[in-house]
Amino acid sequence: MEIGIVVGRLTATRKDENLVGTKLLITQPIDVDGSHRSHPIVTVDTVGAGVGEKVIYVLGSTATNATPKKNAPIDAAIVGIIDSIDC
């Protein structure tokens, strides 16, 4: 699992039929101190996250397993909203 912050929303009126009904968010990967790790990525939201929230996301086949549509072409999925980080 990775942590990130949702920085935006993405709207695609034409997309793979397995993505219809999903909410797409732009997520900035971060370290625990909040510093940016890499470029933002597109994630499928499975928990109702919103812009500005820190989230937990998964990558690869785990991301597809996190959604009810098992044949969807998903590389990254948000699976949790972070309340706090204590290190």
Model-level pTM? 0.93
Question: Cα separation of 84 and 10, whole Å?
Answer: 26
48 phi and psi angles, rounded to 5 deg: 85, 35
Binned at pLDDT 50, 70 and 90, residue 70 comes out as confident
Domain spans of the chain? 1-7+15-20+28-71+78-87
Binned at pLDDT 50, 70 and 90, residue 69 comes out as confident
pLDDT digits (tens, 9 = 90+) for 10-66: 999 999 999 999 999 999 999 999 999 999 999 999 999 999 999 999 999 999 888
The structure tokens listed for 73 are 């072409």
Reported CATH class of domain 1-7+15-20+28-71+78-87:
mainly beta
